[in-house]
Structure 1
Amino acid sequence: MTSETPATDVQTGIEPDTKDWTWVLHERCPECGFTAADVDPRAIGGTVRDLTPRWVSALHREDARERPEPATWSTLEYGAHVRDVLRVFDERLRLMLDQDDPPFANWDQDATALEDRYDLQDPAVVADELVDASEVIADRFDAVGDDQWERPGRRSNGSAFTVRTLGQYFLHDVVHHLHDVRA
């Protein structure tokens, strides 16, 4: 969901995600049913904590390494991606809270999946890392002050966010991928 500059994944047969998913800030996602605009930003931290056990459970499935189809990530690969989403968005949130209208470094999710070999990682380790990253970003969202929700930041492709919309957009990614892994 967060792809900005796709990499070609000829090794694994996964087609890079080139969609600009920012539309989820204004429309209900027809795939997972998430409506970002309905999210109370003060609830983001708690929601992340509530969703994390579902990720841990999915990553502990016996078939976590198996792809449902050759061109679809496994639960392990989605879990590693979500772990990294948690980390990337925590950094972006930190920047927005510390700086005025910061630009975000580009993140190519598909290149990261290849370079970090999501498919070969240990699902139990990914689960533990996801729990840790969830706690960090949940705490950071919990600490956002009422006067900070409209602080701006922007992605390398020009997409503008506020702390509120960044959180809503980020939360869609976590929820959507739970839908992808049927957790």
Structure 2
Amino acid sequence: MTLPSPEMPGSAQARPAAIIPDTKDWTGVVDEGCAECGFRSDEVPPAALGGTVRDLVPRWVAALHRPDVRVRPEPTTWSVLEYGAHVRDVHRVFAERVRRMLAEDGPLFDNWDQDATAVEQRYDLQDPVVVAEELAVSAEEFAAQLDAVREDELDRPGIRSNGSAFTVRSIGQYFLHDVVHHLHDVRG
């Protein structure tokens, strides 16, 4: 999925230091929990996914209103703003994937290079107030979509470009871990 390029003044500014791409396979967190952030997405029942997404929004909005939102804790670690823009886009990407899983039989998802997207979309230069608003909107839209999933749709499959198989249930839980884990990253 290609995300639209934001129209931003000053986009010719120097790019920040490159982020070392995360090559870890995070799919295990759905069944095993996450040793880094401590979150167990498998303990969140499908019927609670939408509500949990909504519950996380105020924490993200507060983080995106911090005075140091653009400051990277280390040159190769995203700032709160960059994480927030990423999480906004995570909502959008996963909403599209769930939509396809419900509409198609076993769709194959294109690879989404989140690091390339951060550079191409200049997450570092985006307006944190706008990112907070867009994150809240995309979270609500995806939460409503998750709320509408019927019990008999939870096992509909989809395949990630690396071959990882998901169901609507497991992709919702995988997504939720990502949003919670990044709150942990930004101490939200």
TM-score (norm 2): 0.90
The amino acid of 2:165's aligned partner reads A
Q: Work out whether residues 16 and 75 of structure 2, in 8 Å CA contact, stay in contact via their aligned partners in 1.
A: no
Q: Residue 107 of structure 1 corresponds to which residue in structure 2?
A: 112
* Deviation of 1:13 (Å): 3.1
Q: Residue 172 of structure 1 corresponds to which residue in structure 2?
A: 177
Matched, 1:70 2:81: no
Counting only pairs closer than 5 Å after superposition, residues 2-151 of structure 1 correspond to structure 2 as: 12-151=17-156
* Deviation of 1:105 (Å): 1.7
* Deviation of 1:69 (Å): 1.1
Change (3 A) 1:145 1:58: same
| SS of equivalent residue, structure 1 residue 153 | strand
Q: Distance in 1 between matches of 2:88 and 2:17?
A: 20
Q: Distance in 1 between matches of 2:114 and 2:82?
A: 11
Q: Distance in 2 between matches of 1:173 and 1:180?
A: 10
* Deviation of 1:159 (Å): 0.3
Moved runs in structure 1, 4+ residues, more than 3 A? none
Q: Distance in 1 between matches of 2:25 and 2:186?
A: 21
Gaps of 5+ in 1: 1-9
The amino acid of 1:133's aligned partner reads S
Q: Root-mean-square deviation (CA), in Å?
A: 1.0
Percentage of identical aligned residues: 68
The amino acid of 1:74's aligned partner reads S
The amino acid of 1:107's aligned partner reads W
Query: For each residue in 1:57-79, what CA deviation from the matched residue of structure 2 results, as whole angstroms up to 9, or x when unmatched?
Result: 00000000001111110000000
Query: For each residue in 1:91-145, what CA deviation from the matched residue of structure 2 results, as whole angstroms up to 9, or x when unmatched?
Result: 0000001111111121000000000000011100000000110011000000000
Gaps of 5+ in 2: 1-14
Q: Distance in 2 between matches of 1:38 and 1:93?
A: 20
Q: Distance in 1 between matches of 2:141 and 2:32?
A: 28
Q: Distance in 1 between matches of 2:19 and 2:179?
A: 20
| SS of equivalent residue, structure 1 residue 26 | helix
Q: Distance in 2 between matches of 1:67 and 1:155?
A: 30
The amino acid of 2:131's aligned partner reads V
Change (3 A) 1:59 1:11: closer
Q: Distance in 2 between matches of 1:146 and 1:134?
A: 21
